Amino acid sequence: MCGLAGFARLDGQDLGPEFDALLSNFADLLHHRGPDERELLRSGPVGLAFTRLSLVNPQDGTQPLVSDDGNLVLIANGEVYNHKELAAGLPSDVRLKTGSDCEVLLYLYRRHGLDFLRDVRGMFAIILWDRARGQLVLARDRFGIKPLYYHRTDQRIVMSSEIKALFADPTTPRRFAWDRALSVPLAAAAPRFSPEQMCTWFEGVESVPAATVLRVDLRDGRTTEHRYWELPTEADESTSAEGFIERYGDLLEESVQDCATADTELGLFLSGGIDSSIVLALARKRAEGLHTFTALSGGTRDNGDAEHSSWLARQWGIPNHQVLFEPGLTPTPEQWRRLVWLTESPLVGPEVYYKHELHRFARQARPELRGMLLGAASDEFNGGYSDGMGDDWPGFLAGLREMNRTTSLDRMPGLRYWWGEGEAFLSDDALHSPGAERDTDLYASYVLSEYRKVQQYNVWHEDRTAAGSGVEARVPFLDHRIVELTASIPERLRPRLLWDKRILRDAVGSRVPRRIAERTKVPFFYGNGTHHAYSMLVRLMNENGRELVEQALAAPGADAFLDADRIRRRLNDFAQGRSDSPSVELLMRIVNMGLLAEMVTSAPRLESMDAGTPRTELLVHSDPVADTRELFEPGRNHDLNAVPVSADGLLMLSHADGDQYLVNDGQIEFVLDPDSPIVRVLERIDGTSTLATVLSEAGVELKAVEEELDTLVDQRLVLFAA
Distance CA 644, CA 628 (A): 19
Which among 229, 172, 262 is positioned nearest to 472, based on CA atoms?
262
CB 309, CB 270: distance < 8 Å: yes
| Alpha-carbon distances of 275 from 340, 410, 489, 547, rounded to whole Å | 27, 35, 20, 39
Report the candidate in 474, 472, 475, 464 with the shortest Cα–Cα distance to residue 377.
475
Residue 613 neighbours by CB under 8 Å, 6+ apart: none
Which residues does residue 663 pair with via DSSP β-bridges, in sequence order? 651, 668
Please tell me the distance from the alpha carbon of residue 456 to that of residue 189, in angstroms, as a whole number: 13
DSSP per residue, 544-597: HHHHHHHHHHTSTTHHHH--HHHHHHHHHHHHTT---STHHHHHHHHHHHHHHH
Of the candidates 2, 102, 199, 259, the residue annotated as catalytic is: 2
In angstroms, rounded to a whole number, what is the distance separating the alpha carbons of residues 203 and 192? 24
Find, among 201, 161, 468, 186, the residue nearest to 335 by Cα: 468
Query: Which of 270, 386, 376 lies closest to 319, judged by CA?
Result: 270
DSSP line for 594-607:
HHHHHHTTT---GG
**DSSP 3-state assignment of 627?**
helix
259 a catalytic residue: no
Cα 547 to Cα 481: distance, rounded to the nearest angstrom: 47
Q: How far apart are CA 593 and CA 179, in angstroms?
A: 11
Query: Taking a C-beta distance cutoff of 8 angstroms, is the pair 375, 269 a contact?
Result: yes
The answer to whether the CB of 149 falls within 8 A of the CB of 205 is yes
DSSP category for residue 378: S
CB 314 within 8 A of CB 440: no
Catalytic residues: 2
